[in-house]
Structure 1
Amino acid sequence: MQHLVIVGGGHLAAALITGLYRQGFDGRVTLLSAEDSLPCNRPVLSKEYLKGELTEEGLALVAQHVWKDPRFTCQLNTRVSEIDRQQKTVVANGHLVPYDQLVLATGTTPRRLDIPGHELAGIHYLKTLFDARQLRGALQPGKRLAVIGGGFIGLEIAAAARQNSMAVTVLEAGERILGRVVAPEVSECFMQLHQNHGVDIRTGVGVENFMGQQAIEAVRLTNGEVLAADQVVVGIGVVPEVSLAQQAGLECDNGIVIDQCCRTSDPAIHAGGDCAVQFSPLYNRNLRLESVQNTSAHAQTILAQLTGQPIPEPAVPWFWSTQYEARLQIAGLNPDYDQLIARGQDTQARSWLYLKQGRLVACDAINRPADFLQAKKMIMTETQIDIPKAEDINIPLSQCIA
């Protein structure tokens, strides 16, 4: 029997295990996860779970009956320290585990803020269910929360905290929140959204050090101000977890390099998800995408490889975020757009189209799912946009073709 070993306990692992179970995989599968819980729905940890709208039971990604199947084994609290590609073994908690095929689903690690006071209690990072459990218990009404980083994670946590009646301050070192992912006009929209809900947002300011005896009491900013805080969340980005791949001599470049079949430089080892970098024919460059959609696509590709099925066609990247009553859906990537088209003025429901030489390359849609869905198709077909029509929100996006 073929033995498939998966390193990492996130979405990629869960999708592979579920898919192999459904397809009647005739080998054995061993999941080696450093975490203390089974694969869970991580994107909702900063949203519904923090707000108390989801229980831990509702987070599971793999049905319980799958784990009762003797073909599928899960080893939690298990750290893989070495890969021997010649012998086809991994070292897990000091023990050798042989493999026929290996999948690296190692994901990312939150970027640490190692400044004076970083060891104080009450300073949180969010990745795992354990992290979310600790943070949910810390979001107490009337307490003061400082969120360091104005990206999606930071803003989603800020929204959850405000909805739990905390006093929230967001500290963003850049000129604007969401600066790496959306246009300034969209940043401004979310700035107003959070301010309308009582969040104090400071941009262009960093953190000098954390203050307190044993637990966090205040944050000293780079402008000299001291900000009182009962809890701190640090959300300043992530780094791909590639140390194991590097130890094994696999090609890495801001991620584990994979081909269109999700194979690494060793054909017996696949990789996917947030830790992997792959050439995108649509955008004509290497991309490492941090999204469930991308991870699911990689899982389907690896599944096809393992079961001898055709490789799925590449899809347009997409992302999503929920903050208060606003559901943002992003289709495509916008790093080199040359024109931005706004559809609508309603702060509750509007969208923005990113064009490059008249062609639609990305769309940000707030509470406009039809624009999002139509944009995904139009980006893939490199559709030229009729700008006057596109500016009229009453005209369906699919009819705004030049």
Structure 2
Amino acid sequence: MRIERPYLAVIAVFFFEALAFSSWLPRLPEMRAALGLDEAALGVVLMGMPAGALAMMPLAGWLSTRLDVRSLNAVGMAILLLATAAIPLAGSAPALFAVLVAVGLGTGSMGVAMNAAGLAVEKALGRSILARCHAFFSIGVAAGGALGGLAAAQGVPLAVQMPALSVAIAACLLVLARPLPRDREAKESEGPRFALPTRALLPPALIAFFCLLSEGAALDWSAIHLRDGLGAQALVGAGVVAFGGAMALARFFGDAISSRLGAVATVAWGAVLAGCGFASVALATSAPVAIAGFALAGLGIAGIVPIAFRTAGATPGLAPGVSVAAVSTIGYVGFLAGPSVMGFIGELIGLAAAFGAVAGAMAVVAILSARLRVREVGGQASRTGP
């Protein structure tokens, strides 16, 4: 079966965005040790990412009404690659905070840009592909975790790893991302140029917030929990790999699952499964059990976030880029704030118990799933708000 070039382009964007973001996460334990930060101090430093994302996402929504999809992704990826390449230059906590603000600007921009690209390609192809796009994001997360863990194990300096990776990703995307559509529908829309979540967007926005908060917590703190909490020095990247790999596997079947079960059931049962996974991490007394818990959590969350973004993009009265930006602003702030919240909770009650709190967040998602209403998008059942 022939695979369309725009589809290949958009999955490349999802993959490389995740690879750039996640490849430095297994190096967090050594960065924390080098800067002499405890859990709470690291949590404060990591707040730089949600601060940058929160500032950027409304602007990215506005840019989606001015730029075509390809240009929007080029701007966002350039910011992200420059920011991640600069991470090794941060020699103090304030400097790292500033660099992570720039990382947040890049991830905030890409949170809008790559989902807008996925929706544009869905429309062009006439079939649902967004869950599979997010599968390649998860593959990128797992690949980044494996790459960062391997680099750490081999003693590769972070100052070599990150700039070299940014250059390689930029070179790949110059070739692979060229077929991205130059969708201009958002430029012609009559809706507002900026949008905060309306009543219709609030349920998917909150669902995205809690899921992405849990995802960010798992990605940023799994290595520290495995190394410092469970003594698994050789497996510092295994939590990221298990979580991202399980999400990727599940997302390859996400569109078929949501079509068969419906959006509400997919969200509800996925949240229950993820909650059980995070509870297993909280209760684990050995690294293999915790790693299995991360994998179970990844399987559960996998199908939820694509549904939230698809329903946002189908909301009547708003340009798709603007509505995706509104939900992304809430969702990705959760993703980037999750690590900071985990740091504060971990300092108070311990990191294992903090993962128990994440399990509670997934229970909230299961409850919120009842607030979604079915709406047909591209021939599949999706949801808007009440």
Shorter-chain TM-score range? under 0.3
> Larger strand proportion, structure 1 or 2?
1
Give the TM-score normalised by the residue count of structure 2.
Answer: 0.27
> Larger helix proportion, structure 1 or 2?
2
Higher-RCO chain (CA-CA 8 Å, sequence separation at least 6) = 2
Q: Larger C-alpha radius of gyration, 1 or 2?
A: 1
